[in-house]
Amino acid sequence: MNDFVDLTGKKQDATILENNISLQQAQTKSNVPSYDLLQDNLAEAGNLVDEIVLKNYLTKLTDLEIIPLDDSLKQISDIRLFKITEMVYQKDEYSTYKFASVFNAVQNLNCGVFIVADSNGQNTNFYMGVRSLDDKRTTKSLKDTLRNALSGQFPGVKTIDLLDPQAEKFIEDIQSKNIAVVSCVAQNKDEEFNDNERFIQGLEKLALAMQGQRYTAVVLAKSTPTEQLAETRRAYETVYTNLSPFANMQLSYGTNIAFNISNAFSSGTSKGSSHTTNMSNQKGTSYSQNITTNESKTSPGVGSSVVKGLVAVASIVAAPATGGTSLLAGGIAMGAIPSGSKTKGVSESESISESSSETHGVSDTVNENITESNTNTRGLTSGTSDNMQLTMQNKTLINTLERIDKQLKRIDECESLGMWECAAYFLSDSQETAEMAAGTYKALMKGERSGVETSAINFWGRANSKQLPLLREYIANFIHPVFEYRSDSVTVPVTAASLISGNELAIQMGLPRKSVCGFPVIEHADFGKEVVKYNHISNGRDFVLGKVFSMGEENDTEVRLDRDSLTMHTFVTGSTGSGKSNTVYEILNQLRKVYSIPFLVVEPAKGEYKNVFGQFSDVAVYGTNPKKSSLLKINPFRFPTDIHVLEHLDRLVEIFNVCW
pTM for this one?
Answer: 0.66
In whole angstroms, what is the distance from residue 378 CA to residue 19 CA? 9
Query: pLDDT at position 297, please?
Result: 44
Instruction: List, for the chain, all residue ranges whose pLDDT scores fall below the cut of 70.
Output: 1-35, 38-41, 44-48, 51-52, 190-197, 253-369, 371-387, 536-539, 604-605, 660
Provide the pLDDT for residue 385: 55
pLDDT attached to residue 329:
34
Residue 128 is predicted with a pLDDT of 96
Query: Dihedral angle at the C-alpha atoms of 70, 71, 72, 73, nearest 10 degrees?
Result: 70
Distance, in Å, from the CA atom of 94 to the CA atom of 112, rounded to the nearest integer, reads 25
Q: What share of the chain is helix, strand, coil (3-state, %, to 5)?
A: 35, 30, 30
Helix (H) or strand (E) holding 267: strand 258-296
pLDDT at 123: 92
- The pLDDT assigned to 38 comes to 66
Return all residues near 175 (Cβ < 8 A) that are at least 6 apart: 214, 215, 216, 427, 428, 429
Which helix (H) or strand (E) element contains residue 264? strand 258-296
pLDDT at 613: 82
Dihedral angle over CA of 35, 41, 44, 47, nearest 10: -70
* DSSP summary character for residue 206: H
pLDDT tens across 53-87, in order? 778 889 999 999 999 999 988 888 999 999 999 99
pLDDT of the residue at 199: 79
Give the pLDDT score at 338. Answer: 38
